[in-house]
Every structure is written in structure tokens, then in C-alpha cells.
């Protein structure tokens, strides 16, 4: 049995810079990966099957609408594989939460099954990968922190980041990405400035505070709990900056290391027992 890890994708900044004639929005985003995520395992089988378990298994489809199976079929067809696989997914991340859990699962499935079937994985810029969704190309590059532009097809590694910790917090709200984009008032915003080579967590966090998530305002309108989560994070000792990831509703507190993140998470867990809270380090390449 082979195993894989699908880390949470975290947008530390997300600028919406336009919208193409095809309807897809153009993004400029700072993406890192957290040491919290879903787990996958697979064994060779005649057919392609998927089973799902874990704390966030409820509501996750196991048919062809699941990105994991779509990614598996894309790899199998591209590489001419005749074997199948029995895939098991342990969902530790909430879905529809702005941390790319479905896309990260799909990317992890491509890596896992390429190893299982002894073939080359699909490159992140393959058309088959982009067809799976805008976040799958960047998730295939995990754990490397990247700057993502366009629909997600243009990526480049970020300058070396300082060691950072994260506190991921979701108030139990699900925000469909489509609804958040529909509520976006302005779609032609300035792009990100060039990332600095910050050596100290405090300097990097100070730079983050000058950036935006252009989806935050519509997300807060659709789910007011997002505002409460951000305010809670900003008031928590050890949190240097607080941002909303993706289209929400998960928000992220940035700390100087994983130890501080664990302490901050405990404080929030005691105060807000109905929220999902996960401390994690920022993964490095």
C-alpha cells in the first residue's frame, strides 16, 4: 500500500486582477502549504474506486464528481495505464473552506498513483491538470511556496521565506467559491507587489499586512462569521498577521513558528469550541 499527503493550500494574499472572456477570473496570489492535511492511500486494483473516511467525510462524493477520481482517470489515460486502484481518502480538512482540500487531494492522488503504477506524474502545467480546476496546478507543486497568476496556470517559486507557523480557523461555514466571486464588486484590482526576501517572521508579516484578499469583503457579506474569526485571530497572543484564505471561510493566523501556532490554537479552541482550529508549520520545498 502506498500513501500520500494532501496539505492545506493557504492563500496568504489573493488579488483579483481581471476576468477573461471565458468567464474565468485572473488572480495574483501568494500560496503556501500547511503541515495539516488529508491523507490518501492506494493499492492496485482492477477498477478505480474511492472510499472516504475521517472527521470531514460527510458530504464528500465517492463517484466521478470527486476530483480524486477525475485526477486518477486523467493520469491513467495520459500514461496509458490499464490497471486500476482502490483509493482511500481520510478527510481531516473541511471542504468548501478556501484551503483547496479537494484540489490538494487531486494533486496528491496524481503523485500517489504515479508511484503506484510506476509512471511519470502529470506536470503541473499539463492541460489535463488545468482542466481539473485552477488550484490543482499549484497544489501539484506542494510543498513549494509559489506565486500563482492567471487562472492558476502561471506559477513561480517564492523567495525563501522565514520559518513560519500557521493557525487555521474555520467557524463551521461553507462558502461556495462561485457565490463569493459573483458577489465581488470590483474585478480589476492591482496585482501583488514583488515579494521581499524577508528573513524575519515579523518583517514578512508586516509586508503581508500591506496586501489584500479581494474576496474577503464578499465572503464577509455572505458569512459574517469570517469577520469574527479574523478579529479573534488578531487579538490572539503570538499572531503576527491574520488573513482569509481563498474564498473563505477559513482564516489563517501567521506566527513566528509552529510552537507559537500551537499555543495560539489552544487559546482559540478554549474560547470557541465549535470552531475548527488546526495549528501547523508552513511547509518548505
For the whole model, what pTM was predicted? 0.96
pLDDT at residue 151, as a whole number: 87
pLDDT at residue 196, as a whole number: 86
pLDDT at residue 77, as a whole number: 98
pLDDT at residue 21, as a whole number: 87
96 assigned to a ligand binding site: yes
pLDDT digit string, tens, across residues 168-211: 999 999 899 899 999 998 999 999 999 888 889 999 999 999 99
Annotated active-site residue in 105, 135, 179, 214: 135
23 assigned to a ligand binding site: no
User: Would you call 9 a catalytic residue per the annotation?
Assistant: yes
pLDDT at residue 24, as a whole number: 85
Q: Write out the chain in H/E/C secondary structure.
A: CEEEEEEEEEEEEEEEEEECCCCCEEEEEEEEEEEEEEEEEEEEECCEEEEEECCCCCCCCCCCCCHHHHHHHHHHHHHCCCCEEEEEEECCCCCCCCCCHHHHHHHHHHHHHHHHHCCCCCCCCCHHHHCCCCCHHHHCCCCCCEEEEECCCEEEECCCCCCCEEEEEECCCCCCHHHHHHCCCCCCCCCCCCCCCCCCHHHHHHHHCCCCECCHHHHHHHCCHHHHHHHHHHHCCCCCEEEECCCCCCEEEEECCHHHHHHHHHHHHHHCCCCEEEEEEECCC
29 assigned to a ligand binding site: no
pLDDT digit string, tens, across residues 248-269: 999 999 999 999 999 999 999 9
268 assigned to a ligand binding site: no
pLDDT band at 152 (very low <50, low <70, confident <90, very high): confident
172 assigned to a ligand binding site: no
pLDDT digit string, tens, across residues 45-103: 999 999 999 999 999 999 999 999 999 999 999 999 999 999 999 999 999 899 999 99
253 assigned to a ligand binding site: no
pLDDT digit string, tens, across residues 89-145: 999 999 989 999 999 999 999 999 999 999 999 999 999 999 999 899 999 999 999
User: Would you call 187 a catalytic residue per the annotation?
Assistant: no
What are the structural domains of the chain?
2-150 (3.30.230.10), 159-281 (3.30.70.890)
95 assigned to a ligand binding site: yes
Annotated active-site residue in 9, 28, 91, 214: 9
223 has a pLDDT exceeding 80: yes
101 assigned to a ligand binding site: yes
1 has a pLDDT exceeding 90: no
Amino acid at each position: 500500500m502506498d500513501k500520500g499527503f494532501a496539505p492545506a493550500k493557504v492563500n496568504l494574499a489573493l488579488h483579483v486582477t481581471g476576468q477573461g472572456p471565458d468567464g474565468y477570473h485572473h488572480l495574483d496570489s501568494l500560496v503556501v502549504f500547511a503541515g495539516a492535511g488529508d491523507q490518501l492511500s492506494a493499492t492496485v486494483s482492477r477498477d478505480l474506486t474511492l472510499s472516504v473516511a475521517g472527521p470531514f467525510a460527510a458530504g464528500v462524493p465517492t463517484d466521478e464528481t470527486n476530483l480524486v477520481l477525475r485526477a486518477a482517470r486523467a493520469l491513467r489515460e495520459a500514461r496509458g495505464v490499464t490497471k486500476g486502484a482502490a483509493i482511500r481518502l481520510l478527510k481531516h480538512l473541511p471542504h468548501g473552506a478556501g484551503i483547496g482540500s479537494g484540489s490538494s487531494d487531486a494533486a496528491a492522488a496524481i503523485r500517489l498513483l504515479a508511484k503506484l503504477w510506476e509512471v511519470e506524474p502529470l506536470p503541473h502545467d499539463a492541460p489535463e491538470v488545468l482542466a481539473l480546476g485552477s488550484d490543482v496546478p499549484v497544489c501539484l507543486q506542494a510543498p513549494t511556496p509559489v506565486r500563482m497568476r492567471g487562472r492558476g496556470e502561471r506559477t513561480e517559486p517564492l523567495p525563501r521565506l522565514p520559518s513560519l507557523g500557521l493557525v487555521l480557523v474555520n467557524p463551521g461555514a461553507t462558502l461556495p467559491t462561485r457565490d463569493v466571486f459573483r458577489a465581488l464588486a470590483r474585478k480589476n484590482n492591482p496585482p501583488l507587489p514583488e515579494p521581499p526576501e524577508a528573513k524575519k517572521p515579523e518583517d514578512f508579516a508586516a509586508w503581508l499586512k500591506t496586501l489584500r484578499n479581494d474576496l474577503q469583503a464578499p465572503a464577509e457579506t455572505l458569512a459574517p462569521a469570517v469577520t469574527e474569526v479574523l478579529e479573534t485571530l488578531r487579538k490572539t497572543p503570538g499572531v503576527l498577521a491574520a488573513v482569509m484564505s481563498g474564498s473563505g471561510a477559513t482564516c489563517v493566523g501567521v506566527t513566528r513558528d509552529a510552537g507559537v501556532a500551537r499555543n495560539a490554537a489552544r487559546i482559540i479552541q478554549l474560547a470557541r469550541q465549535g470552531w475548527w482550529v488546526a495549528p501547523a508549520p508552513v511547509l518548505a520545498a
